[in-house]
């Protein structure tokens, strides 16, 4: 999706400073193919900026969430993981058993509209997450 430079200039436009520690965190999270925990992000980003502190990872991720570039995922075990926001037609499927994540590509705008009409809730399509159970966990539960 967006290149690192995009995120950095977005940061800049938002009135934030562009620093090496932030660049390292951004690089790390943009490479993510699955939701990464804070410690994973920390050690990944340290490959690029070794003196990076854990607190800076928290603060940078917070900023990126504010800017709608990153979303936080609550894993079933209570841990938080982070992932770049998907495009509007790509929806996350979060397994509440094992925390595994898959993506579902499909247009759900009609469903979203129906929900909005009935409840007043406006789904932000790039933020919608479907929670359920992956095939493995479903079998374990219903044994």
Answer for which of 12, 34, 131, 138 binds DNA (CB under 7 A) is 12
130 binds a second copy (CB under 8 A): yes
Structure tokens at 60: 């940078």
Count of residues that interact with a second copy, criterion CB under 8 A: 35
**Interacting partner of 119 out of a second copy, DNA, none (Cβ under 5 to 8 A depending on kind):** a second copy
83 binds DNA (CB under 7 A): no
> Is residue 101 left, alpha or beta, with left meaning phi > 0 and alpha meaning psi from -120 to 50?
beta
CA angle 43, 45, 48 (to 5 degrees): 115
19: which DSSP letter?
-
47 binds DNA (CB under 7 A): no
CB burial of residue 48 (10 Å; 0-12, 13-18, 19+): middle
Site string for a second copy, 58-97 (x = CB under 8 A): ----------x-----x---x-x------------x-xx-
127 binds a second copy (CB under 8 A): yes
């Amino acid at each position: 999706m967006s290149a690192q430079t995009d995120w950095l200039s977005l940061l800049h436009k938002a009135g934030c400073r562009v620093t090496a520690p932030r660049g390292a965190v951004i690089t790390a999270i943009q490479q993510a193919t699955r939701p990464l925990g804070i410690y994973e992000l920390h050690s990944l980003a340290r490959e690029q900026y070794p003196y990076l502190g854990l607190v800076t990872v928290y603060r940078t991720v917070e900023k990126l969430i504010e800017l709608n570039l990153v979303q936080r995922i609550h894993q079933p075990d209570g841990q938080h993981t982070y992932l770049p926001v998907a495009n509007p037609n790509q929806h996350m499927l979060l397994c509440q058993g094992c925390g595994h994540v898959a993506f579902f590509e499909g247009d759900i705008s009609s469903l979203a509209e129906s929900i909005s009409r009935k409840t007043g809730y406006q789904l932000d399509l790039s933020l919608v997450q479907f929670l359920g159970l992956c095939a493995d966990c479903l079998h374990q539960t219903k044994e």
